[in-house]
Amino acid sequence: MMAASPLEQIEAIGVVPVIAIEEAGHAVALADALAEGGLPIAEITFRTRAAADVLATLKEKRPDFLAGAGTVLDLDSVRASKENGAKFALSPGFDPEIAAAAVAIGLPFAPGIMTPTDLTLAVRAGFRLCKFFPAGIAGGPKALEAIVAPFNHLGVRFIPTGGVSLETMGDWLKHRFVAAVGGTWIARPEDLREGRFADITAKARAAVERARAIRESAS
């Protein structure tokens, strides 16, 4: 049996912690806290200068951890993601050049969409998994359901991010077109700065348990 791809692993887990980490020295403790809570995965966003170093640290010290890159907005970030060991990458929007560059270097990539036009362009470029961002203010699950309707027969799937919480996870994950949800609430910058790794583990565990319960009830 072939090993699952990173994007397939994301779907199996159902939750992607979205993390802006400011100090590479926190990388291992963060990964261990998340994994202990049942979430051996993180989207390390390029919103901070430490992102590339965090990815490199995890590649070296926690190679089994599913570390990906987020907020990939330019070609330099695409290259830095791949070179520093990111196993997947996501972007908040759709830029054909960035998407093509990720594909060209073998970096599993999910572009961001918010409108039918965005999704049309992403589908035409060959993508079937996209980030839906900013999920909350873009209209929530009902908006995504309407956007997806003309594309459903193509098997498109989504990772809604932005405004998703433990309380609203169920509104998203009950839909078959939602592969996973992205969440910043699991490990916030202040949690890392203040060393609240036990809290991160607890929030990760709650998210995993909630995702499992939602999917079991929907099946």
- The residues carrying an active-site annotation are 43, 131
Q: Which of 90, 88, 40 is nearest to 30 (CA)?
A: 40
**Tokens for 74?**
């330019």
CB atoms closer than 10 angstroms to residue 14: 22
CA distance 158 to 147: 11
**Tokens for 21?**
């980490």
Q: What residue spans of 160-196 are helical by DSSP H?
A: 169-173, 189-193
Q: Do the bridges between strand 181-183 and strand 15-19 make them parallel or antiparallel, or are there none, so unpaired?
A: parallel
Residue found under tokens 């309707």: 149
**Tokens for 140?**
């929530």
